[in-house]
């Protein structure tokens, strides 16, 4: 009995650990997620890279990876525009 309770508790713990990751993936946004979070998300990464090619390889990536795309826009020298942000936002919203 004790062994099955321990096994069940372990299974529940592992299932609960997966919940925050799934929630985090579902809630990425151009306004609230850092560039690093967007690029770590399996759905968001190809969308961001499609609209901002080479962002992950940019020489200043380490400096801006903690910023959101909205925060990064003024420093992007026109690379990130309102249209690009809208396109990324729209594609993130679709399944």
Percentage, residues of the chain above pLDDT 70? 72
The structure's pTM equals 0.71
Please identify which residue in the block is written with the tokens 């096994």. Answer: 7
Asked whether the predicted pLDDT for residue 22 surpasses 80, the reply is no
Percentage, residues of the chain above pLDDT 90? 69
Condensed to tens digits (0 to 9), the pLDDT of residues 25-65 reads 458 999 999 999 999 999 999 999 999 999 999 999 999 99
Distance CA 39, CA 45 (A): 4
Q: So what's the pLDDT on residue 95?
A: 61
Q: Which residues contact 82 (CB under 8 A, 6 or more apart)?
A: 73
Please identify which residue in the block is written with the tokens 């968001």. Answer: 44
Q: What average pLDDT does the segment 5-33 reach?
A: 60
């Amino acid at each position: 009995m004790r062994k099955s309770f321990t096994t069940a508790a372990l299974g529940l713990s592992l299932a609960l650990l997966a919940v925050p990751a799934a929630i985090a993936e579902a809630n990425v946004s151009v306004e609230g997620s850092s560039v690093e979070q967007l690029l770590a998300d399996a759905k968001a990464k190809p969308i961001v890279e499609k609209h901002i090619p080479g962002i992950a390889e940019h020489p200043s990536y380490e400096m801006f990876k903690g910023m959101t795309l909205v925060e990064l826009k003024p420093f992007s020298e026109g690379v990130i525009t309102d249209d690009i942000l809208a396109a990324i936002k729209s594609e993130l919203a679709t399944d």
